[in-house]
Amino acid sequence: MKRLVSLSGLILLMIIQNQNLNAQFLPEVVSIRELEMCEGVNEIILLNYYNQWCDNIAAHSKGAGGWVMKGDRGERNGEYIFAWTFDFKTTRDYYFPASDWSNYPQWNAVLNRFQFHAPEQKLVETVIPFTDYVVLGFSKIIAPVIGEIIAVRYFDIEPSLQKEFETFVENEFHQAYQENIDGFYNYVLKGNRGAKIGSYMLITVFDSADRRDQYFPVPLGPASDAFYQQWLNIEGTSRKFDSYLPESLDHQYTDYIVVY
């Protein structure tokens, strides 16, 4: 087994340039699968397979989809993640009424309309079992968006503080970032099925790679003045959020660039 390494710069640049990377709506459910490529697999074949998979899901389902993302900074730099998405939790539950991969007729009907066949060779192993995450307070967020860069951090909250934390996130945290910092959004998701039920994930969204580099020129370095001046408008909200979190969170992250 080897870690999934990056494609050549030229190939990856061509893929990115041919994608529509304008902001899209954030789905309510994101099912995360971190990937390791099996020995001897051609990376172009792997990416092409997931591109076709996402196209077929979008074309033949109602409200399901997917992203392929490549680590750009952090712990999984150069590695890949597949995010299976559902516009709404009710959509996920329609296609998959329970956690196990069973013979669900609604999902089988989608698969029967697929326009390609998977390679005979096994392409990937998952690093950890999947987790379905649900966006906290989804119905309260006005036009939640996903951009070109998605920074991912996993964390836990003390059980006694979870209700208080989630109320704060739903009523204040999401809106503060969306309304006060240009091209920068923070969302908190909670594990609903799979390996990390009850755990949390923070996704920080930048509308473009240029915006991320403008706000944070150096990995794990200080924010730029352009970011800091806007952050002062929500300093109280930001510090309140940090008070719930483990101190090591900032150093346990991956920035992913959406390549499909």
Confidence (pLDDT) at 2: 34
**pLDDT interval class at 7 (50, 70, 90):** very low
User: Using an 8 Å Cβ cutoff, are 29 and 86 in contact?
Assistant: yes
Which pLDDT tens digit goes with each residue over 96-148?
A: 998 776 788 999 999 888 887 777 788 887 777 889 999 999 999 988 888 88
Beta strands in 75-130 (DSSP E): 80-86, 124-126
Structure tokens at 175: 């809106």
User: Using an 8 Å Cβ cutoff, are 214 and 148 in contact?
Assistant: no
- Higher-pLDDT residue of 47 and 21 is 47
Confidence (pLDDT) at 189: 97
Least reliable range by pLDDT among 26-35, 116-125, 236-245: 116-125
Which pLDDT tens digit goes with each residue over 191-210?
A: 999 999 999 999 999 999 99
Q: According to the CATH classification, is domain 9-258 in 3.30.70.100?
A: yes
When the pLDDT of each residue in the chain is averaged and rounded to a whole number, the result is: 85
**Alpha carbon distance 181, 60 (integer Å):** 36
Q: What does the DSSP assignment read for 82-97? A: EEEEESSHHHHHHH-S
**pLDDT interval class at 10 (50, 70, 90):** very low
Confidence (pLDDT) at 251: 67
Confidence (pLDDT) at 24: 73
Structure tokens at 54: 């996402």
**Alpha carbon distance 57, 52 (integer Å):** 9
Is the pLDDT score of 185 beyond 90? yes
User: Using an 8 Å Cβ cutoff, are 31 and 194 in contact?
Assistant: yes
Structure tokens at 230: 């806007």
